[in-house]
Structure 1
Amino acid sequence: MAAAAYSISLTELSLHRHQDRRRSALAGPRLATVRCCSKGQVAVATSRSGVADPSPVFTSLKSFAPATVANLGPGFDFLGCAVDGVGDYVTASVEASVRPGTVAISAISGGAGASKLSRDPLWNCAGIAAIEVMRMLAVRSVGVSLHLHKGLPLGSGLGSSAASAAAAAVAVNELFGGHLSLSELVLACLVSEAKVSGYHADNVGPAIMGGFVLIRSYDPLEIIRLDFPAGRELFFVLVSPDFEAPTKKMRAALPAGVNMKDHIFNSSQAAALVAAVVQGDVKIIGAALSSDIIVEPKRAPLIPGMVGVKKAALEAGAFGCTISGAGPTAVAVINDEEKGKLIGDRMVEAFLSEGGLSASMTVTRLDRVGARVISSSAN
């Protein structure tokens, strides 16, 4: 089965609604490109809809963006996927008390760590992405208020910052009629990522697009969506310890150079993983995901118990296990949900016995949709 590549180009035709664009994208393969000027600097064109300062079509709406698993072992900074059921929520509302053309964050709620987040939209992932969407739409007549609800813990390795950005970008775009393309939404989120955790699209790509994505190039940016076959069972066992691993700190642990032998090996594993995704071969996905010999060996010792957790997952029958993103969440893959729960229990036990950390576990599927609106109030 050939890989399906989907367009997220600044030159693609803008469709009228975010959901309609997504259904169109899933209908058939297209080549996808998003371009940027240079690392950390995003070039954004005016929306192809030609609409400037659009009127809001809703007074308020609520969006959801899923958690993401970046790297997937050997795919450091160029592979990622979205996972179902866990993520962040943003409610965007037209608010008379907010200065026209600007964004305010009225509230931040959620679990542990949410109180640490700034309500200054210039220093908040959701706020930065929302501001960029407002700029791309040239909104000047009304102001927008955001309520961010964090369903993901900070520094979890599950794309927390990307989920906030993606939920905000989709919410604000839809508030004004959904004029922006998927490409522009990804670019808006990348402005946020560049500011808070580094210029990388392996979280925001799948958070917006859903499914598995491959970042073929960063300059110019090109994202290819990889279709995992419908009807095949794939479960992610996510085990998150009570430990924070900030992305910038974990990036500092990376090796300065890589020898040719390790480069060849990791490249072959990443290629095998991509082939396994489009073929629906969960066992090979797991084997490749477990085989990173460049990044994981440097990061695993910084997460108490991680080495033992991976061993426990594999001994319990997981097809593969690695660090999700920068960590500390460990992710294992399997093709049976009940077996996934047993694997998760062993991983939780290992975090406690090997690392002295309590941990929570969830077993979830691939999120094939990405960020979406879940409720709205008509204007």
Structure 2
Amino acid sequence: MDYIKIFSPATIANLSCGFDVLGLCLDNVGDEMTVRKIDEKTIRITKIEGADLPLETEKNVSGVAALALLHEWDTDYGFEIEITKNIKAGSGIGSSAASAAGSVFAINELLGRPYENKDLVRFAMQGEKLASGSAHADNVAPALLGGITLVRSYDPLDIIKIEAPEELFATVIHPQIELRTADARSVLKQHITLQNAITQWGNVGGFVAGLYTRDYGLIGRSLQDKIVEPIRGLLIPGFDRLKIACQTQGALGSGISGSGPSVFALSRGFETAQNAASAMSQVYDDMKLPYEIHISGINPEGIKILDKK
């Protein structure tokens, strides 16, 4: 192959209780990327549509991730990348992760798949490091693997993919403001109480157990965050009202998507997810705040190939 076009999906990171370790892959929101082989031994970003992002390879997350891969897998040719951004930067649904994961996935395909998708996570993390200052995997892992992912360890990197229950749906509302991941990380406390840590550990275990046992009630009870949400929630307009709105419509639970400002809700069944979307929309309609809203099933495969030749 000399050419590939892919769909690189949006993701929800943290899922309330799992800061930097849990992530979920969305199905109907994402970027499109085209990658071609070129004779020159380099990485070039030739076009970006839908966002004002740098074309310089070393300043773009897709370029940095691609360079990390090629630093390890040497070739006598290079690649050029085109990106159509449908995920807004600073939205909290993995905009930088989609670009970073998409570039290494596409290049790996054009190389003949020397790496498994799980092995590509460590290259994509370098793009995340450029974007936020932290090489985290909670967005790039579900983008590359699909489903819901748990990063058990970063050193060494150990990622577990969990198949989502069939009736699980996500609703995501994005107020039209930008909240940079680096800024959202900067407000976090470096120390937490033992009691909050114990609560958080229990919720992470409960959430994972709920996924495996298809226990939707347990999933909902575990969607609580005692550590990050109380601080970051202050940065998001109407955050508490959004959570109450979801609850009144029967959603399992809700929280901040990634670093925000998007807010997500998980529901059992599409109809409940729709009701949650209507209630969340009403909150921002009342506030006269523009927003985008998405309802999605859980994408089981991650990045999808649209065309290749």
Asked if Structure 1 and Structure 2 have the same fold, meaning a TM-score greater than 0.5 normalized by the shorter chain, the answer is yes
Retained in 1: the 8 A contact 2:118–2:141?
no
The gaps in structure 1 that reach 5 residues or longer are: 1-57
Distance across 1 between alignment mates of 2:174 and 2:43: 32
User: Is residue 118 of structure 2 the alignment partner of residue 178 of structure 1?
Assistant: no
Picking from 337, 353, 366, the partner of 2:298 is: 366
Cα distance between partner residues in 2 of 1:123 and 1:256: 28
Checking the alignment, whether the CA contact within 8 Å between 2:118 and 2:144 is kept in structure 1 is no
Q: Which amino acid aligns with 2:109?
A: E
Structure 1 runs, 4 residues or longer, greater than 4 Å off = none
Q: Show the counterpart of 2:46.
A: 106
CA distance in structure 2 between the partners assigned to 1:370 and 1:169 by the alignment: 13
1:151 to 2:86 alignment: yes
CA distance in 2, matches of 1:282, 1:240: 25
CA deviation string 1:223-252 (max 9, x = no partner)? 1112234xx311101111111111111111
| 2:285 matches 1:349 | no
SS at match of 2:105: helix
2:123 matched to 1:188? yes
Match for residue 271 of structure 2?
A: 338
Partner of 1:37: none
Q: Which residue of 1 aligns with 2:19?
A: 76
Question: Which residue identity does 1:173 align to in structure 2?
Answer: N
Q: Secondary structure at the match of 2:272?
A: helix
In structure 1, how many angstroms separate the alpha carbons of the residues matched to 2:113 and 2:157?
23
Please state whether the residue corresponding to 2:12 is helix, strand or coil.
strand
| Alpha-carbon distance between aligned partners in 2 of 1:374 and 1:333, rounded to the nearest angstrom | 28
The separation in 2 between residues aligned to 1:76 and 1:86, in whole angstroms, is: 22
- The one-letter code sitting in structure 1 at the alignment partner of 2:145 is M
- Indicate whether 1:221 and 2:157 are aligned: yes
Aligned amino acid, residue 14 of structure 2? N
Which of 50, 65, 81 aligns to 1:129? It is 65
Q: Which of residues 290, 314, 323 is equivalent to 2:256?
A: 323
Provide the rounded CA distance (Å) in 2 between the counterparts of 1:326 and 1:80. 12
* Aligned counterpart for 1:138 among listed residues 65, 70, 74: 74
Offset of residue 279 of structure 1: 1.3
Contact 2:185 2:259 survives alignment (8 Å): yes
SS of residue paired to 1:256: coil
Residue type of the partner of 1:282? Y
Scaled by the length of structure 2, the TM-score of the pair is 0.95
Deviations 1:297-351 (A, max 9, x none): 1001111111111111111221111011101111111122123112101102213
Q: Quote the Cα distance in structure 1 between the aligned partners of 2:192 and 2:231.
A: 12
Per-residue Cα deviation, 1:241-286 (whole angstroms, up to 9, x for no partner): 1111111111112123111111111111111101011112223222
State the number of aligned residues: 308
Structure 1 counterpart of 2:214, one-letter code? G
**Counterpart of 2:241?**
308
Richer in strand (by share): 2
| CA distance in structure 1 between the aligned counterparts of 2:305 and 2:71, rounded to whole angstroms | 21
State the alpha-carbon separation in 2 of the partners of residues 319 and 277 from structure 1: 13
* Aligned twin of 1:87: 30
Q: 1:342 and 1:183 mapped to 2: Cα distance?
A: 35
Aligned to 2:202, which of 268, 275, 287? 268
Instruction: State how far apart, in whole Å, the 1-side matches of 2:29 and 2:142 are.
Output: 14
Percent identity between the two aligned chains: 35
* Inter-partner Cα distance in structure 1 for 2:72 and 2:86: 27
CA distance in structure 1 between the aligned counterparts of 2:119 and 2:154, rounded to whole angstroms: 15
Mean Cα deviation higher: 308-317 or 130-139: 130-139
Q: Does 1:254 align with 2:188?
A: yes
8 A contact 1:238–1:331 mirrored in 2: yes
> Does the 8 Å contact 1:301/1:307 carry over to 2?
no
Shift of 1:212: 1.0
Contact 1:170 1:372 in 2 (8 A): no
Deviation at 1:208, TM superposition (A): 0.8
Match of 2:136 among 195, 200, 214: 200
Runs (5+) with no aligned partner, structure 2: none
